[in-house]
Amino acid sequence: MSTADPYFDFLCRMGDNTLILGHRVSEWCGHSPVLEEDIALANIALDLIGQTQMWLGLAAEVEGKGRTADDLAMLRDVWDFRSALIVEQPNGDFGQTLMRQFLFDTWHLLMLQGLTKSCEPRVAEIAAKAVKEVMYHVERSGDTVIGLGDGTEESHTKIQAALDLMWPYVGELFTPDAVDEAMLAAGIAPDLTEMRKTFEAQVSAVMAEATLTIPDSRFAHKGGKSGFQHTEHLGHLLTNMQWLQRAYPGANW
């Protein structure tokens, strides 16, 4: 998916993030530790997939090649995806899933709040719709992280391990590249550097209440949002997610 249009790439990043995380979260359906969590995670997955439809739908319009949101979701290969590395990481245990969710949710809400002020009316409209759902996402995932961190010795140990594992993937979300700089200059998207200051303050407050220690490291995995380098996990995920459309092209109910 070679493109010289940073706007198209940016829209794919937004849609790919929600698509891949939505699929990851949906993997808990029928497997969560308690029924309430099963239902909650399924609803979050549905929210994210609904947002994907809007972002990739707009991306397809901007591209102007006759593709649809479904085409972008189901017929691209792994190197064409622009999702951040954090969203493709495996679910692991419940603590790992919730820590990944909280870190993404916090970034996601800040991004959407910034996009509501976008100079592109369609972007601002999508962000305004999505931000209402994501406010609930970040509240719920934050409360759960606090409950696990300030809970039993076992839950504290596991959620701390999850934070240690996921923290190196946070940096990519705030590391601007040519696409991010173009979107900022055009007034379409917010400044990632400024966003990080707010992100760190909000995450630090939750981690303090959860009695968790944020790793003292600025190391950041990267490559996902540029499509340059994904982890092996994305390929396996896409195999499961795309196989029906690939096996029966154009199939419909």
Q: Which two tokens stand for residue 30?
A: 């029928």
Correct CATH for 6-214+221-247 of 3.40.47.10, 1.20.1260.10, 3.50.50.60, 2.40.110.10: 1.20.1260.10
Q: In whole angstroms, what separates CA 124 from the centre of its chain?
A: 18
For the cut 60, the answer to whether the pLDDT of residue 1 exceeds it is no
pTM (predicted TM-score): 0.95
Per the structure block, which two tokens stand in for 142?
Answer: 């934050």
Q: 31 falls in which pLDDT band (50, 70, 90)?
A: confident
pLDDT at 109 over 60: yes
Tokens of 150: 């300030």
Mean pLDDT of the 91-111 span: 97
d(CA 139, CA 167) in angstroms, rounded, equals: 19
Quick check: 253 pLDDT over 80? no
What pLDDT sits at residue 3?
57
Q: Which residue has the higher pLDDT, 250 or 200?
A: 200
Torsion of CA 138, 231, 195, 197, to 10 degrees: 90
Is there a contact between 86 and 166 (Cβ–Cβ < 8 Å)? yes
Task: Give the three-class secondary structure for 179.
Answer: helix
Q: Which of 31, 169, 156 is nearest to 92 (CA)?
A: 31
| Residue-level pLDDT at 241 | 95
